[in-house]
């Protein structure tokens, strides 16, 4: 199976059996049951809409953190190196290497962006994807593990081996099984000549420990570590610079009214939505949001069940990828996860989800304040 040419964005999902919304009857996510054919998953490995227009030139390094500017220069050089391989071994948009081999690699097989939340690592990774002229794949760690589930391990290796570059955003180290699966997958891709780029997060309370995440990454990917050049990106979470922790929740009646007057909004009760997520495979959460421009949720409350919380984390990532504002009533979104969760093994996931949901809630509150329909 040849790698597809780069599409403009994620392919549309199959029918969702969703009735069109009207002014009096808003649509509901709980009514959607999207179907995504496995063969389309490779074509959808592109930067999410939020980052579709980003380039190295649109990344604004913080002068107080010189590592950001250094990261841009390092990735530009890596893109040039990858592009040289494309020019030396591709033909007609599809990859072709004479004499059954790939061009000699001039630099490391991969780069790893190490840094905290909101310093622009995904922006930089998307910029790298755009800067490489040959076929390239972009997805989150979770999306690649879902790809293995859909295509099988060997089918995934064969599919991804057709790409010049594979970008893995949010490499996760908190599930041993998934981490070892990805380590094996990346090792086979490196052996086939694919270049790699990955990001992960250092916990805010571990920033003083040096290369905490980088050391974990090297240990978990074992034999692959020597193939990666670690690029440190320091700074503050741009989503919260000078901003309050979270906007005040909207009154539930305001949430309902806003959903009713927006043709492309959905309205759901928080508990009903969480229950529905158990019946939808996480690989289809993106398709669940097709055509949705605002998500309205009432009766939001703190979570104590870890499995429920982890599903919400995946939905939060897909909402953020697609820049879908959230209009929420109930408890503030920065209080969703219990103290035990925020201190446990999945704390990086929960903190990332909180950061992203708060940013989307600000956008949702802004829509209400401006009266935009």
Of 88-92, 232-236, 349-353, which range is least confident?
88-92
Q: Which helix (H) or strand (E) holds 58?
A: none
pLDDT of residue 24: 57
Q: What is the pLDDT of residues 58-77, one digit of tens each?
A: 999 999 999 999 999 999 99
Segment 337-364 shows an average pLDDT of 89
Confidence of residue 345 (pLDDT cuts 50, 70, 90): confident
**In contact, 6 and 132? CB cutoff 8 Å:** no
Q: Tell me the angle at which helices 252-260 and 347-370 cross, rounded to the nearest 10 degrees.
A: 70
Closest CA to 297 of 256, 347, 247: 256
Residue with tokens 């859909």: 150
Residues 205 and 190: their CA atoms lie apart, in Å, by 33
pLDDT of residue 308: 96
Residue 23 DSSP SS3: coil
Opening angle at CA 305, ends 300 and 307, nearest 5: 105
Residues 293 and 98: their CA atoms lie apart, in Å, by 47
Segment 356-366 shows an average pLDDT of 91
Segment 81-105 shows an average pLDDT of 50
Of 94-108, 117-131, 170-184, 301-315, which range is least confident?
94-108
Q: Which two tokens stand for residue 251?
A: 């009154």
Q: Which domains does the chain have, with CATH numbers?
A: 29-35+243-370 (no CATH), 45-238 (3.40.50.300)
Q: Which residues pair with 233 in a beta bridge?
A: 115
Q: Which two tokens stand for residue 54?
A: 């980003």
Closest CA to 132 of 164, 169, 168: 164
Mean pLDDT of the chain: 81
Residues 131 and 74: their CA atoms lie apart, in Å, by 13
Q: Which two tokens stand for residue 169?
A: 């955003």
Q: What is the DSSP letter of 5?
A: P
Return the higher-pLDDT residue of 75 and 133: 75
**In contact, 312 and 336? CB cutoff 8 Å:** yes
Q: How would you classify the pairing of strands 94-95 and 90-91?
A: antiparallel
**In contact, 321 and 181? CB cutoff 8 Å:** no
**In contact, 353 and 312? CB cutoff 8 Å:** yes
**In contact, 178 and 144? CB cutoff 8 Å:** no
Residue 260: pLDDT over 50? yes
Backbone dihedral angles phi then psi of residue 369, each to the nearest 5 degrees: -65, -35
Q: What is the pLDDT of residues 272-324, one digit of tens each?
A: 999 999 999 887 898 899 999 999 999 999 998 999 999 999 999 999 988 99
What Rg, from alpha-carbon coordinates, does the chain have? Answer: 21
Opening angle at CA 121, ends 7 and 286, nearest 5: 45
Rounded to 10 degrees, the C-alpha dihedral 311/315/321/323 comes to -150
Residue with tokens 């041993």: 176
**In contact, 83 and 106? CB cutoff 8 Å:** no
Q: Which residues pair with 195 in a beta bridge?
A: 165
Q: Which residues pair with 112 in a beta bridge?
A: 198, 230
């Amino acid at each position: 199976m040849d790698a597809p040419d780069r599409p403009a964005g994620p392919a549309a999902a199959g029918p969702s059996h969703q009735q069109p919304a009207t002014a009096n009857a808003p649509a509901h996510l709980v009514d959607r049951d999207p179907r995504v054919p496995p063969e389309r998953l490779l074509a959808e490995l592109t930067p999410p809409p939020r980052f579709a227009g980003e380039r190295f030139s649109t990344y604004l390094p913080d002068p107080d953190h010189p590592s950001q500017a250094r990261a841009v220069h390092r990735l530009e050089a890596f893109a040039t190196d990858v592009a040289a391989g494309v020019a030396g071994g591709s033909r007609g948009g599809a990859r072709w290497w004479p004499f059954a081999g790939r061009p000699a690699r001039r630099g490391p097989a991969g780069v790893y962006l190490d840094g905290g939340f909101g310093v622009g690592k995904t922006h930089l990774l998307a910029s790298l994807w755009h800067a490489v002229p040959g076929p390239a794949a972009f997805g989150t760690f979770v999306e690649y593990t879902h790809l293995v589930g859909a295509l099988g391990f060997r089918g995934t290796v064969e599919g991804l081996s057709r790409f010049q570059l594979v970008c893995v955003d949010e490499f996760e180290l908190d599930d041993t099984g998934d981490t070892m699966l990805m380590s094996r997958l990346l090792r086979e891709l490196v052996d086939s000549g694919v270049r790699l780029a990955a990001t992960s997060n250092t916990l805010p309370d571990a920033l003083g420990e040096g290369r905490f995440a980088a050391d974990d990454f090297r240990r978990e990917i074992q034999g692959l570590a020597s193939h990666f050049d670690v690029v440190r990106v320091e700074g503050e979470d741009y989503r919260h610079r000078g901003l309050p922790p979270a906007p005040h929740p909207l009154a539930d009646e305001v949430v309902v009214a806003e959903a009713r007057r927006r043709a492309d909004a959905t309205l759901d009760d928080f508990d009903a939505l969480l229950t529905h997520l158990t019946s939808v495979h996480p690989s289809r959460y993106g398709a669940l949001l097709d055509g949705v421009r605002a998500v309205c949720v009432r009766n939001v409350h703190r979570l104590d069940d870890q499995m429920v919380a982890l599903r919400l984390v995946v939905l939060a990532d897909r909402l953020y990828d697609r820049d879908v504002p959230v209009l929420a009533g109930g408890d503030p979104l920065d209080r969703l996860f219990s103290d035990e969760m925020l201190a446990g093994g999945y704390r990086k996931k929960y903190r990332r989800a909180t950061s992203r949901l708060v940013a989307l809630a600000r956008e949702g509150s802004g829509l209400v304040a401006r009266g935009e329909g």
